Chain A
Amino acid sequence: MRYLVVGAGPAGVIAAETLRNTDPGGEVMLVGGEPEPAYSRMAIPYYLAGGIGEPGTYLRPEPDHFSRAGIDFRHDRLLRLDAAAGQAHLAKGGATPFDRLLIATGSSPAVPPVPGLTQPGIHTCWTLADARAIAAAAKPGARVVLVGAGFIGCIILEALVERGVQLTVVEQAPRMVARMMNQVAAGMIKRRCEQNGVEVLTDTLVDGVAERAGNGEPFKVHLKSGRILEADLVITATGVRPNLGFLEGSGVETGQGVLVDENLRTSVPHVYAAGDVAEGRDFSTGGQSVHAIQPTASEHGRIAALNMAGVESAYAGSLIMNVLDTLGLVSSSFGRWDGVADGEEVALRDDARQRYLQLQFAGDVLVGANSVGMTQHVGVLRGLIQGRFRLGVWKRRLLADPTRIMEAYLACAASPLPAGGAQ
Chain B
Amino acid sequence: MLRSLHIEPRKCTGCLQCEMACSYENEGVFNPARSRIKVFNFHEEGRMVPYTCTQCAEAWCLHACPVEAIVVNHATGAKEVLDSRCVGCKVCTIACPFGTVNYQQATGKVIKCDLCGGDPACAKACPTQAITYVDADWTGYDRMRAWASRTDAQPAAGTPA
Contact = CB atoms under 8 A, between A and B. Distances in A.
A322 B158 contact: no
A57 B100 CA distance: 24
Contacts of A390: 156-161
A213 to B, nearest CB: 39
Interface residues on B, range: 35 or more
A380 B40 contact: no
Interface in A374-419: 375-383, 386-394, 406-407, 409-419
A411 B91 CA distance: 25
Contacts of A41: 66
A136 B42 CA distance: 54
A61 B86 CA distance: 12
B99 A383 contact: yes
Nearest to A405: B99
A294 B103 contact: no
Interface stretch (A244-252, A262-270, A295-303): A295-303
Nearest to B10: A416
Contacts of B98: 379-380, 383, 414
Contact of B94 (A51, A58, A334): A334
A417 B153 CA distance: 8
A325 B90 contact: yes
B160 A389 contact: yes
B52 to A, nearest CB: 11
Contacts of B101: 379
A85 interface: no
A61 B157 contact: no
A43 B103 CA distance: 16
A413 B144 contact: yes
Contacts, number: 188
Given A378-B99, A380-B97, A410 B45 contact: no
A388 B160 contact: yes
Nearest to A46: B87
B47 interface: yes
A365 interface: yes
Contacts of A341: none
Contact of B63 (A14, A382, A389): A14
B38 to A, nearest CB: 8
Interface string A296-318: 00110010000000000000000
B97 A382 contact: yes
Contact of B157 (A328, A386, A414, A419): A419
Interface of A: 10, 14, 40-43, 45-46, 51-52, 56-61, 294-295, 298-299, 302, 321-323, 325, 328, 330, 332, 334, 363, 365, 375-383, 386-394, 406-407, 409-423
Interface of B: 9-10, 38, 40, 42, 44-45, 47, 49, 51, 60, 63-64, 66-68, 85, 87-91, 93-105, 108, 144-145, 147-148, 150-154, 156-161
A-B interface, 6 closest residue pairs, ranked by CB to CB distance from nearest: A392-B157, A383-B97, A419-B157, A40-B66, A377-B99, A380-B99
Given A299-B63, A409-B99, A410-B51, 4 more contacts: A325-B90, A375-B105, A376-B99, A389-B158
10 contacts: A42-B67, A43-B89, A363-B161, A379-B100, A410-B40, A411-B157, A413-B158, A418-B151, A419-B156, A421-B44
